[in-house]
Amino acid sequence: MKRFVAFIIIGCSLGVLWYFSYKSASNSSDENILVVGTNAEYPPFTYVENDTIIGFDIDLINEVAIRIGKKIIIKDMPFDVLIPEVQRGTISVIAAGLTPTPEKKKEVLFSECYFDGDPLVIISSGAKPLKTIESLTGKDVVVNEGYTADFYMSAIKGPVIKRFPAPAASFLALQSGRADAYVAARSTVKPFFKQYGTDQFSVAEIPGTEEKYALAISPRDGDLVGKINSVINEMQKDGTIEQLKNKWDLK
């Protein structure tokens, strides 16, 4: 009986040691992985081509991961769950063309901005051009939910705001006559115009609305902020970000 008890104790002890050894190894492995959330519906920043997520933000976060010595996992998810997921810590970073607003800064940490000078534009029918905010009063205006244009237009009295999840749906609403105008960042609509042309549209810049973009970082991974900022500054200085802008036609 004593030998049996002894075997049980030894077995339990070895099991405990194996568990903590395994857990330690798993944590060590996890520390080398950067889990990044994105919404792959916003070319040229992040979108799907040939079953692969590509774009300016994807190239940027891949380079950041390399320089801080991490392997990367990209998770595509709806835009409206990105911030809740990064708050929970299921993802460490959001790479999705986010603008650091005072409201968002209360929820997540932000890196240094890596892209700026991206104004909001009013896109309307070339036959019925709408070129000013005042001209949008009483009009059906589409925006992409959760992005800067959404917050900007929601604060303006007069337009009737309709929210869509992605630029493709917004352009479809405009082309089908279900909306009078579409307000979005210039970079967001540039790929569409490059593919389909601008002949049937009027495009007017909204003065004083230049956007800036940054990576959002989970408050649970605050130690990443300094590392990522250091890399972004390096990439600004060595011309890497400029090269990416050229590659994705963001000049």
Residue appearing with tokens 């030998």 = 3
Mark whether 195 and 242 lie in a shared domain. no
The type of residue at 209 is T
**What pLDDT is attached to residue 38?**
97
The predicted-structure confidence for 70-115, as pLDDT tens digits, reads as follows: 999 999 999 999 999 999 999 999 999 899 988 899 999 999 999 9
Assign residue 132 the CATH number of its domain.
Answer: 3.40.190.10
Q: Is 231 found in the same domain as 166?
A: no
Residue 195: inside a domain, yes or no? yes
In a domain, 5, yes or no: no
Q: Domain range for residue 222?
A: 30-116+212-247
- Which residue positions in the chain have pLDDT lower than 70? 1-29
146 and 201 both lie in a single domain: yes
Instruction: Say yes or no: 124 and 172 in one domain.
Output: yes
Among positive and negative, which fits the CA dihedral 143, 149, 155, 159?
Answer: negative
Give the integer Cα–Cα distance in Å for 177 and 143.
15
| 124 lies in the same domain as 110 | no
User: What pLDDT score does 10 carry?
Assistant: 41
Ramachandran category for residue 70: left, alpha or beta (phi over 0 → left; psi -120 to 50 → alpha): beta
Same domain, 125 and 185: yes
Q: How many domains does the chain have?
A: 2
Q: Is residue 144 part of a domain?
A: yes
Angle at 39 between CA 37 and CA 43, to 5 degrees: 125
Q: Is 15 contained in some domain? A: no
Q: Write out the two tokens for 171.
A: 């352009």
148 shares a domain with 193? yes
Query: Do 146 and 35 belong to one domain?
Result: no
Query: For residue 213, which of 92, 95, 107 has the smallest C-alpha distance?
Result: 95
Same domain, 95 and 138: no
Tokens of 140: 């059906």
User: What is the 3-class SS of 20-82, one letter each residue?
Assistant: HHHHHHHHHHHCCEEEEEECCEECCCEEEECCEEECHHHHHHHHHHHHCCCEEEEEECCHHHH
Query: Residue 8: inside a domain, yes or no?
Result: no
Per-residue model confidence (pLDDT) at position 18: 38
